[in-house]
Every structure is written in structure tokens, then in C-alpha cells.
Amino acid sequence: MTKGYLKAEDLYKLKSVADPRLSSNGKDLVYVETKISEEKDEYVSNLYYIDVEQKTTPVQWTYGEHRNHSPRWSPAQQEVAFVSNRSGKNQIYVLKATGGEARQVTECTNGASNPVWSPDGKKIAFNVSLGEEEQLVEKDKKEEKKLVPLEVDKMKYKSDAAGFWNGKYSQIAVVDLETGDTELVTKGKNDYHLQGWSPDGKHLAVSTDLNEDLDFSFVSDVYLLDIQTKELEKITNSNGYFGGVTWSPNGRYIGLLGHEREYDNATLSKIWVYDTEQKELSCLTAETDLLIGDYAIGDFQQGAVSPGLLWTENNESFYFLASDHGNTVVYYGSLQGELYPALLENQHVYGLTTGGTLNRAVVAISKPTLHGELFLLDVPTGNLEQLTEVNKEYTDEVKLAEVEEIEFKSKDDWDLHGWIMKPANFEEGKKYPLILEIHGGPHAMYANSYFHEFQMLAAEGYAVLYINPRGSHGYGQKFVDAVRGDYGGRDYADLMEAVDYALEQYDFIDETKLGVTGGSYGGFMTNWIVGHTNRFKAAVTQRSISNWISFYGVSDIGYYFNAWQIKSELEDAETLWKHSPLAYVKNVETPLLILHSEKDFRCPIEQAEQLFIALKHRKKETKFVRFPESNHELSRSGKPSLRIARLNYILNWFHEYIK
């Protein structure tokens, strides 16, 4: 059978599997499958079950056109708690493993999230959002729809994820499953994030910042909250970001992920362990250059969850994810300092669960031609058995483009790494246009993972080049820190040298038909490129930065991001302007499409507005597309129809000016 080629609209046909949860018996697996309802233009998520010992066919556990997610096994493995919006708001439900209807266990005023079971299985702790005068449970509350002024007296009054601050704080509550009684265990003008419940049932681990001036505080401390007295015991040192808390089975050790901000937001995340008997916090990976966690970037998976440290039954060893050289891999570690990969392949592991077992894990894996599936990992042998095939029907009918890894030396002798994707309909002897893709962050990592945008371009006859320039994660602390204070410097050179390398090594690339695109930092770099070279025939800038001076005051992170990344304050406007693409707009000769979301608070739309007007005022070839009701995450989790519209805008611009 002749296979067809991918279209942007194929997002409607594809499913994402994520957040696998293996019970402590090592046998029962529950996970989340997400698809898109084309009719409703919304995401639909449901829970599925697999017996991993019998390799049974997946069984659907929840139904309906809702978002059912965050499944968590009860300690006795007889029930699963999960979050659902079936009532109109996110609330917590409990479903028996033997079947039947799910039981709603919270009726919180503003919804509930992040369920965590008590060790005895009688209670569930969770997060809620509450204003100072709001009640935890207010069944008859009517939604206020009238317009009211927004009073602002702090700098952190908006965020790209949550929008404008609404006067509510994240608090922690506990519901008794037998009586239905719900108790608020934190309060005040701070956000508390639930991390876990101690094995002896006496403490909750929570993360928060209790400094008085939060506008100038950039830490996340971990505390132990005494369930009875509500007293807090701090176990970190108010000098960095810490979270991902997990307890060893015997309760003596607490695993944490985090760092002490030695390089601000470019600092590698490390593994820390707190000894509850000795009252000591120590870093287990201080002497390594390994980045702990999944920092791969993509545009497909929905609901991926970071697992933190997954302790085994011996109380001294654990598994975790690490980002390394364009892959995310499963590592084994121990309190004795052991550290080695348990699954090291060209892959993106975006989910990991062990149920506390030593020799078995379930991993969610994506590759450039694998959207994402669940696999059973036998740790001693490294053997993988595939458990799901949610997109098999699609991949049987559609030809995906293969990728080839590239490695080369920069002119200043740094090792650089990336990929080139040939057109899906590649034929020897033919010439093809090339699109350079640039990731955001800049502290992120392209990986051996599925990318719908790249596959769409390849299906339309484009080769796609993408690399991890300096500033990217996955290549050590020196590499990720190198971009700070040098935006538009060696990072720009890395990308141009990657294009040079591709043209030298691959004779199928037509050097007269080059395009470039990227989002966020990648949008900044696209703007920078077209202001500094005319080698590209067309460019698409997405959710970009054009002016660091105005970015300082309009972005939700601007007033500190400039200092951390450009290494300049507002008083040094000359340096901020020197690094601003807007300063070089007179040099732009490349047709530039500007894509931006109306409610992007990370890189606000005024950045695009300035760029568009400056280009049009100088009679440059440009077009500006504004996406309604969308934020910085449009390309990954935005309204499905708008995600597809965005992809087609990119494709049509390149078709018009390159092909």
C-alpha cells in the first residue's frame, strides 16, 4: 500500500499517551490517553488500564468528552484517584479498580487538583485556589461576571500560565473519604504546592516561598508540614529552586530535585537527599555535569509529568530521568553514589513509573517517527516490550520523514549537535529547500522526539535542520550558561555554521532556497537573523522578542529576565538596545511573517506590534497574524483549530516565498 503524507490537520487523528502510573504490585498500570474532538475543538482525556504481566489489551476506564487525568493509585491498589472537569470544574474523583462509577470526593469552590493519598488510604490531600475571604466549599456560589477594575500593587501580578492575578492563592486541603469532611491545612498570602505525604502519615511535603518581598524573591523552598499542629519545618536553605519531592519507603530519606541558582535560571537541576534522622541536606550529583529531568522540547505530547526520584523497596536506590545530548534517558542512582543509565538510547523518555519496584518500569517514549507509546522496561536486561499502539492505524497509512544526527565543530572549537530531516518524499539527485528551526528557552533542548511541525514541513518537500546551539540544555553547565550576556553573538554564529555545515555535507539542499523560523527565544533569534543576513528567502517569527527595553516592563518575567539573560538593567538601555532585533530593522530584506498570541504574557504581543510597524513603515515585506484567546503555549497546547491554523500559516509563507 502506498502511504500518504502528513498534513497539519492530522493532529485531529492523533492520540497522546502520558502520565503512566504503575501500582506497587508491579502489575497494574493506569495512564492517560488524550485526543482532540474536532467537533468541539477541545482536548478529551480518559484513563486506560493495562495488566503489564499479562500484556492485556488496554481497557478504557473513563468515558465522555471531558478531561480526566492525574491518576494516582491508592496504597492498597484497590482504587484510583483522578481529576476530572466533568462537573464543569476540576474536581477529584475516586474509581474502584474493579469497575463501576467514579465517586466525586471534592466539591471545592474553585476546583481541586494534584491528588495525593494518605498512607492508610483514608484521606486525599490536594491543591486548591482560594481568595482570602472565600470558603473552601461553597456549593451555591454564583460566578461573578461583572467587570471590575484590577488593582495592582506588586510586580508579579500576571503570568503566562494563569493570566492576571485574581487575588487567589494556591493552598492545600485534605478530604476524609469516609466522612467527606474537607480541611484546609495551609492559609495566608503565599502559594503552597503539595509535593507528597510521608509514609508514617504525619507530614505533608510542600514547596513555597515565604519571603516577605516576593517581587524580589526567586526561590522555592521545601517544608515538612505537620498534619496535626500545622507547623512548618524548612529543609532547604532559601537559596534556590527545589521540588519533585519523594519519600523513601521507610520515610528516612526525602529525594528532591533542584539547584541553588549559581547561574540563575541557567543552572543545572541536581539530585538532593534530605536525611530526616540526621537533619542533613546533601547533593548527590554535585560532581557531575548531568542535567536531572526532562528538558526536551516538542509540540505534541499532552499531560506529561515529571516523576522526580522513584525510590525502590530497598530504601537506598532510585530511578530518575536525565537530559543528555539530545536524549532523555532513565538513570539508576543510589545513596552510595552509584549513577549509571538504565535505558540509554536515541529517544525522548517523557514518562517514567516503577511502582517502587527495583527491576521493572514503564516508560513513555517518543522518537522522531514515533509519536509516543508506552513500553515495559525490564531493568536488568534493558529489554523493552511495547504496551500501547495508539497511533498504529495512522502510521500504517502515513509516511513520516527520517532524521539523521549531525555533529560538528564550531569555528571556536565547541562541539555542536543536531539533526537534519530529509523530505518525506526524498529522491536521490533532486534538490530541496531547507528550513532552519530554532527552539525557545533558550535553556531547552531539541531531542530525538516527534515534532509535528517538522514532519509537516518534511511532508511538503522541505528538509529541516535543527540543532542545540550554546545556551541549550543537555550538554553541561558551561554550554548552557554560554548564551547569557551574548544573545546574538556565538549563539547566532552556531546556527549560521550549522547551515554552512548542512550545505557542505548534503548536496540535496538548494542553497538558494533557505527559510528560518522559531518561537520565543527562537523568535528573537529569527528576528536577529533577518537583521544580520540576507541568506534566507523567507522567515517566520513566532511569539518573539524584538525590544529588550520594553520587554523589561511588559513581560511577566521581564524585569528579572533581562538581568539574568542579557546581564543588563534598564539603566543600561544602550546594552539592551544593542541586543534588540528592532535596532536592526532597517537591514531586513527577508520577507517576514509575524505570528503572535493575543494573551501571551511571556513575550507580549506589543513585541510583535513594534516589529510589524517598524517593518511596514520601511516598506518591508511582512504580514502580522494575531491569534485570539491564546497564550505563549499556542503551538503546544493551544486551541486545536488555532494550532492547525498556525501550522498552515507557516507552511503557506514558505510556499509563497521559497518553493
Segment-wise mean pLDDT, segments of 10 residues, the chain, 659 residues: 90 98 96 97 98 92 96 97 96 94 96 98 98 84 79 95 94 97 95 98 98 95 97 97 97 98 97 97 96 97 95 96 97 95 94 95 98 96 95 96 97 98 96 98 98 98 98 98 98 98 98 98 98 98 98 97 97 98 98 98 98 98 98 97 98 96
Percent helix, strand and coil across the chain, each to the nearest 5 = 20, 35, 45
Report the distance separating Cα 196 and Cα 175, nearest Å.
15
**Per-residue CA distances from 609 to 115, 398, 582, 596 (Å):** 42, 39, 11, 9
Q: What is the pLDDT of residue 140?
A: 66
Residue type, 242: F
For the chain, how far is it from start to end, CA to CA, in angstroms? 29
Cell of 89: 470544574
Q: What are phi and psi of 12, to 5 degrees?
A: -70, -20
Domains of the chain: 290-390 (2.120.10.30), 399-657 (3.40.50.1820)
| Positions of E strands within 370-429 | 370-378, 383-386, 398-399, 403-409, 415-421
| Cβ atoms within 10 Å of 402's Cβ, excluding its own | 12
Helices (H) then strands (E): counts for the chain: 11, 42
Q: Are 232 and 225 in contact (CB under 8 A)?
A: yes
| Cβ atoms within 10 Å of 369's Cβ, excluding its own | 15
Cell of 591: 520577507
Could you give the residue numbers annotated as active site? 520, 632
Cell of 314: 530497598
For residue 638, which of 24, 160, 77, 111 has the smallest C-alpha distance?
Answer: 160
Q: DSSP per residue over 151-213, as a string?
A: ---SS--EETTTEE--SEEEEEEEEETTT--EEE---SSS--EEEEE-TTSSEEEEEE---S-
Handedness of CA 600, 601, 602, 605 (dihedral sign): positive
Q: Are 470 and 445 in contact (CB under 8 A)?
A: no
Burial annotation 542-580 (CB, 10 A radius, 16+ → b, else e): bbbbbbbbbbbebbbbbbbbbebbbebeeeeeebbeebb
Q: What is the pLDDT of residue 2?
A: 78
Report the distance separating Cα 300 and Cα 465, nearest Å.
19
Q: Are 490 and 470 in contact (CB under 8 A)?
A: yes
